[in-house]
Amino acid sequence: MLIVYPDYYEDFSCAAGDCEDTCCAGWEIVIDPKSLKKYHESNALKRRLLRDIKWRKGTFRQCKDGRCAFLREDGLCDLYRKLGADSLCRTCRTYPRHTEEFENVREITLSISCPVVARMLMERREPVRFVEKEIDREESYEEFDYFLFSCLTDARSVMLQILQNRELAIDERLLLVLGIAHDLEVRYRQGRLGEYDEVLARAQSPRGLEMVRKQLARRRREPEKNYALAKQHFYRLCDLERLRDEWDQLLIETQMILYVQGSESYAALHGEFAAWAAENAPNLAVQLEQLAVYFISTYFSGAVYDGRIYGKADTAVGYVAQLYDLFVARWLKNEKQLDMEDVIEIVYRYSREIEHSDPNLEAMEKYIWWRITT
C-alpha cells in the first residue's frame, strides 16, 4: 500500500491551550464505536461520561456556546488531562489529519481548518512536495476503476506542476488546470479516456497557454458578467449550513463591501486591491498557489468514485476565488491593509464551514463555477 502526504505533514504540532481558536467547539464531535464502548465501560469519570455523551447519537454533548462539554476554560481537554492520550476518540486523536482512501493508496493531509496548519501553509514560500512511502499491506475494492484512478493521479501531477510554475500568473495557472479537467471529463464521458495523455500534452504546450490567455482577456472585457458570477457564488455560500455563529458576521461584512454597489465598484475594488498587493503583499500569489495545491491534491482524485472530474477541479478553483474575494473585503474593512493574521483567520474559518460539512461540500460541488470554452 502506498501512503502519500505533503512534506510539511510531520512538522505539525498541536498548539493545545495556546491555539488562537479551538477545534473542540462549533461542530459535533462524533465518537467512534470502539471509543464509545470504552467510555461506557470506564469506571474513571463514569458519572461525567454518562452525563456528557449523547449516547444515541454517539457524540459529545455541547454547551450553549457550542463548546465540547470536556473542553476546559484554558482550552485543554479534561479527558486528556485526567485519563491520558489513550482516552481520546478517533476524531480527537487524528484531527487535523484527513485521509482519502483508494485501493492500496492512502492520501493523508492536514486540514487548513486548523489555525496551526493554515499558518504553516500561508507562511510557507517554497512549493509543497509530496512524500510517498510503501507499507506491507494489500487490499482490493470491488468495482474500483484503477485505470481511471491512474489517469486522475497522472493528471493531478501535471496540474500541481502547472500550479507551482511561478513564471505564469496565478489566474493563468488556474485556468490551465480547469482546461485539463474539462477535456479529461469529455473524453471520459465519450469512452476515450485512453487519449488522456493528449490532454496533458496540450495543457503544457504553448498553444494551450495561448488559448488560456485569450479566454482571460475576454473575461476581463466582461466585468458585469464576472460580478454577476461572483455574486451568485457568494449567495450560494450564504445558503449553506452554518457551523459557527461568527461566520455570519464575516459573510455580512463581505456582502456589504463587495456586492451591494454593483459591477463597476466590484471591478474597481479588485483592481485597486491587485495594485496594492503587487506593492505590499508580493507573497499573495504564493498563498493562492498553496491553497489551489491543497484543494486539488485533497479532492481531485475522488472523482474515481463519482466521475465528477471537472466538478472537482472547478470547485477547487472556486474555493480559491472565493477566498480571494474574502481577502479583498477584509482589506477594505481594515482601511486597505491585509496582514498575515487576516489571511490565516479567513482561511481556517472558510475551511471549517466548507470542509467539515458533507452537505456543504456536496452543495458546493454540484454547480458549475466556471465554464470553459475549447
pLDDT for the residue 273? 97
pLDDT, average across residues 316-322: 95
pLDDT, average across residues 133-146: 92
pLDDT digit string, tens, across residues 194-234: 999 999 999 999 999 999 999 999 988 999 999 999 999 99
Is the pLDDT reported for residue 367 higher than 90? no
Interstrand relation of 2-6 and 105-110 (parallel, antiparallel or unpaired): parallel
Of 42 and 111, the structure prediction assigns the larger pLDDT to: 111
- C-alpha torsion sign, points 156, 4, 122, 328: positive
Lowest mean pLDDT among 66-70, 262-266, 301-305: 66-70
Dihedral angle over CA of 351, 357, 363, 364, nearest 10? 10
State the Cα–Cα distance between residues 29 and 38, nearest whole angstrom. Answer: 16
pLDDT above 90: percentage of residues in the chain? 76
Cis peptide before 206 (omega within 30 of 0): no
pLDDT for the residue 140? 87
pLDDT for the residue 24? 85
pLDDT digit string, tens, across residues 69-98: 999 888 889 898 888 888 999 999 899 999
**Rounded to the nearest 10 degrees, what angle do helices 223-238 and 206-220 cross at?**
90
C-alpha cell recorded at residue 281: 503583499
- The secondary structure of 267-297 as a DSSP string is HHHHHHHHHHHHHH-TTHHHHHHHHHHHHHH
Its pTM stands at: 0.93
Residue pair 92/28 in contact by the 8 Å Cβ criterion: no
Task: Provide the pLDDT confidence category of residue 368 given band limits of 50, 70 and 90.
Answer: confident
Residue pair 112/347 in contact by the 8 Å Cβ criterion: yes
Q: What is the mean pLDDT of the chain?
A: 92
Residue pair 199/162 in contact by the 8 Å Cβ criterion: no
Residue reference for cell 493554515: 118
C-alpha cell recorded at residue 105: 493508496
Residue pair 233/318 in contact by the 8 Å Cβ criterion: yes
Task: Provide the pLDDT confidence category of residue 372 given band limits of 50, 70 and 90.
Answer: low
Residue pair 106/114 in contact by the 8 Å Cβ criterion: no
Task: Provide the pLDDT confidence category of residue 28 given band limits of 50, 70 and 90.
Answer: confident
pLDDT for the residue 371? 67
Is the pLDDT reported for residue 374 higher than 50? no
CA 257 to chain centre: 24
**Rounded to the nearest 10 degrees, what angle do helices 263-280 and 309-333 cross at?**
80
State the Cα–Cα distance between residues 74 and 17, nearest whole angstrom. Answer: 6
Task: Provide the pLDDT confidence category of residue 108 given band limits of 50, 70 and 90.
Answer: very high
pLDDT digit string, tens, across residues 335-359: 999 999 999 999 999 999 999 888 9
Within a 10 A sphere around the Cβ of 50, how many other Cβ atoms? 12
Q: Which of 185, 191, 199 is nearest to 303 (CA)?
A: 185
Residue pair 65/25 in contact by the 8 Å Cβ criterion: yes
C-alpha cell recorded at residue 27: 461542530
Amino acid at 57: K
State the Cα–Cα distance between residues 126 and 116, nearest whole angstrom. Answer: 18
CA 294 to chain centre: 6
State the Cα–Cα distance between residues 209 and 201, nearest whole angstrom. Answer: 11
